[in-house]
Amino acid sequence: MKIKEYRTQFIQELTSMYDAGEAESFFYLILEEKQQLKRIDLALQPDLVFSASAIKVWNAILEQLKMEIPIQYLLGKTSFYGLDFEVNENVLIPRPETEELVDWILERQKTKGKRQNIKILDIGTGSGCIAISLAKNLPNAKVFAIDVSEKALATAKKNAILNEVNVTFIAQNILEVVSLSTVEGLEQEFDIIVSNPPYVRNLEKEEIKKNVLEHEPHLALFVEDHDALIFYRKIGELAQKNLSNSGQLYFEINQYLGREMVDLLEGMDFMDIELRKDIYGNDRMMRGEGRFLNK
């Protein structure tokens, strides 16, 4: 079968659950991954054909897409902040909103000048996308990353190797930590602490798309309705003890809890608190500065 003919069939079969543009993007992502062909190749060689074995592979992927398994999991990889990352069912798929958080951190570092040997901690690292992107763009930084999931950390370690950066990964349940300085392998003090922790309340599950709800790890997504800020409160408390003077605390947050998050950091005496919207106009990230005289 000609590839162009299969393309039409592929898109038609997916349009009941995806829009045509998204289905088409899936086709070309798979084409490049499985056949090492780009859109331009198909335009220049319209008579290219799929072998029978290739069609079997494509049909299997098509059926998985119909089950709303994320394309990133099917391909085993995704892009984040210009870098390639392996992803699987043990880690969340990195989102564009999180790229904005990384960009914010890097932009503020530019304004601070070229500080040498800054220390960064990413809490709840998952695929390692935040820690690795920061390490890649701040080569003089010493970067650490924590996650409760050993399987997630295994993926993150592969991604650090893939992107040729040095990040120290540590398995730890952050809710059980009294002080970061007591965690084996960590530094006493950090210039930047960043976290994209679980923040989706159970009451918001109905807003979550099926492909996320049924396939991405709930451990990294959900918190109980009655204590939605549990991770932020804990990380804020640890930052009070382990953030350097004028150090920065960054969070990705639940879009519905922006005011509550500002109140939380104000109550913890963080300074210069800033709440930012993402590209979709939702409250999505914030920062505060640590100036704690009595740690």
Q: Based on the fold, state whether residues 92 and 189 are members of the same structural domain.
A: yes
Q: Based on the fold, state whether residues 165 and 250 are members of the same structural domain.
A: yes
187: three-class secondary structure by DSSP: coil
Q: Given this model, what pLDDT does residue 174 score?
A: 96
Beta strand 222-223 pairing with 200-201:
parallel
Cα distance between residue 248 and residue 138, in whole Å: 15
Q: Based on the fold, state whether residues 131 and 269 are members of the same structural domain.
A: yes
Q: Based on the fold, state whether residues 203 and 63 are members of the same structural domain.
A: no
Q: Based on the fold, state whether residues 62 and 99 are members of the same structural domain.
A: no
Cα distance between residue 172 and residue 56, in whole Å: 42
Residue that terminates a domain, selected from 46, 67, 88: 67
Q: Based on the fold, state whether residues 21 and 135 are members of the same structural domain.
A: no
Q: Given this model, what pLDDT does residue 294 score?
A: 54
When pLDDT is averaged across residues 140-155 and rounded to a whole number, the result is: 97
Q: Based on the fold, state whether residues 229 and 134 are members of the same structural domain.
A: yes
> How many domains in the chain?
2
Structural domain boundaries enclosing 172: 77-290
Q: Which residue has the tokens 């990352």?
A: 85
Residue 147: both structure tokens together: 């996650």
Q: How far apart, in Å, are the Cα atoms of 87 and each of 2, 14, 145?
A: 31, 23, 17
The domain that holds 135 is classified in CATH as 3.40.50.150
277 within some domain: yes
Q: Given this model, what pLDDT does residue 292 score?
A: 66
Confidence bin at 114 (pLDDT 50/70/90): low
Cα distance between residue 77 and residue 85, in whole Å: 5
Tens-place pLDDT, residues 205-236 = 888 887 888 888 888 889 888 899 999 999 99
Confidence bin at 149 (pLDDT 50/70/90): very high
72 within some domain: no
Q: Among 11-25, 137-151, 204-218, 245-259, which is the least confidently predicted range?
A: 204-218
Tens-place pLDDT, residues 24-78 = 999 999 999 999 999 999 999 999 999 999 999 999 999 999 999 999 999 999 9
Residue 166: both structure tokens together: 């040095």
288: three-class secondary structure by DSSP: strand
Instruction: Examine the pLDDT at 113 and tell me if it is beyond 90.
Output: no
Nearest of 50, 49, 7 to residue 29 by alpha carbon = 7
Q: Based on the fold, state whether residues 148 and 26 are members of the same structural domain.
A: no
Q: Based on the fold, state whether residues 169 and 36 are members of the same structural domain.
A: no
Residue that terminates a domain, selected from 67, 92, 114: 67
Cα distance between residue 131 and residue 45, in whole Å: 42
Residue that terminates a domain, selected from 11, 37, 67: 67
